Amino acid sequence: MGSPLSPILADIVMDDLETHCLSLLGFAVPVYYRYVDDIFAIVPRANVDEINLIFNSYHPRLKFTHEIESDSCINFLNTNVIRSNGKILTNWYRKAMCSDRYINFYSSHPFKYKLNTIFNLVDHAILLSDDQFHGKNIDVVKQILLNNCFPTHIVNRYICKRLNFLKHRSSSILGDGEIDTDKPSYIALPFVEGLSDNVGRLLKNMGLTVVYNIPKKLNSLIKRGKDSLPISNRTEVVYKINCKNCSASYIGQTKRHLSTRVKEHCNNIKMHESNLSVISKHKLKFDHDFDWSAPDILHNEKHVRKREIAEMFFIKKFDNTINSQKDTENLNNIYDKLIKVV
């Protein structure tokens, strides 16, 4: 889940699954449609259990459930499929728990976004349904928009405009049968109410299509609910440990919990002389101790190589560090003067 490959892999598995399982059925399936893992099929009612059993036998970790039509109707994705007088009809389907909450007309968003809300709802109401349901569906669209504070004149005007577009959408094909392939040039601008629309009109006259982005999003206004981690539990950091008795300090980096790394520094003094760290040597030579309980976090970085560069940067930036020379050998001395003034 979450990987860009997930839809592709899911489709490969489902393609193999349906090819294998449909070949095992003792009858032909006259109608079979699939969208990712949602399947719509018309099969004899007596064979429903058989097809469910065969599909579930493909792999022990895959379990399919099925739903049978009720009153000659069944829901599939955003449509309600209706069996009527030997024909299949469809109607726009909305779940019972649908909140009908869309962008509010008075929100600080480009007018294009609000128009797209109208057009999107009209497209669902018309393109997913048979002609006999269009009138009722448009009434539902109007009510949804009014509940989201869209003015009546805006609703009526742009619903009519979209209906007219859908009615004549085939006219977008040129007279000679060729499709106009000229692609407009786009430019992205941050949306500032009262300013961006005027700038957009000027750019439109220059042949540019403006796409707006919203710089102030909800997550920048609402604080995160998680409590901040204690310093000792932080990971992927560059840290500094200070000597209690002089101005010396040690700078390091770790991907583990900082408390784990500090404990290793503290216990290093118990090791053989040949394996002593620079911290332990400083303690023995001057009879000093380090402030193990209050290390300073200088930088956070998940990427290992970037974290190592940050470690070398801070070693050179601070005076009186006791790190060995090899800790900074991969950072060229040409940067030394620049580091000191940053």
For the ranges 56-60, 195-199, 250-254, the lowest mean pLDDT is seen at: 195-199
Question: pLDDT grade, residue 173 (50/70/90)?
Answer: very low
Give, rounded to a whole angstrom, the gap between the first and last alpha carbons of the chain.
Answer: 42
Q: How many CB atoms lie within 10 A of CB 297?
A: 12
Residue pLDDT, tens place only, 12-37: 989 999 899 999 988 888 888 988 88
- Please tell me the distance from the alpha carbon of residue 117 to that of residue 101, in angstroms, as a whole number: 11
In the chain, domain spans:
6-68, 185-219, 231-341
Backbone angles phi, psi at 253, to 5 degrees: -140, 150
**pLDDT the model gives residue 37:** 83
For domain 231-341, the CATH class is alpha beta
Question: pLDDT grade, residue 177 (50/70/90)?
Answer: very low
Residue pLDDT, tens place only, 46-83: 888 889 899 999 998 888 888 999 888 999 999 999 98
Residue with more model confidence, 156 or 221? 156
Residue pLDDT, tens place only, 127-169: 999 999 999 999 999 999 999 999 999 999 999 999 999 888 7
- Please tell me the distance from the alpha carbon of residue 288 to that of residue 248, in angstroms, as a whole number: 10
Is residue 309 packed enough to be buried (19+ CB in 10 Å), middle (13-18) or exposed (0-12)? middle
Of 337, 336, 331, 261, nearest in space to 297 by CA: 261
Q: Indicate yes or no: pTM above 0.85.
A: no
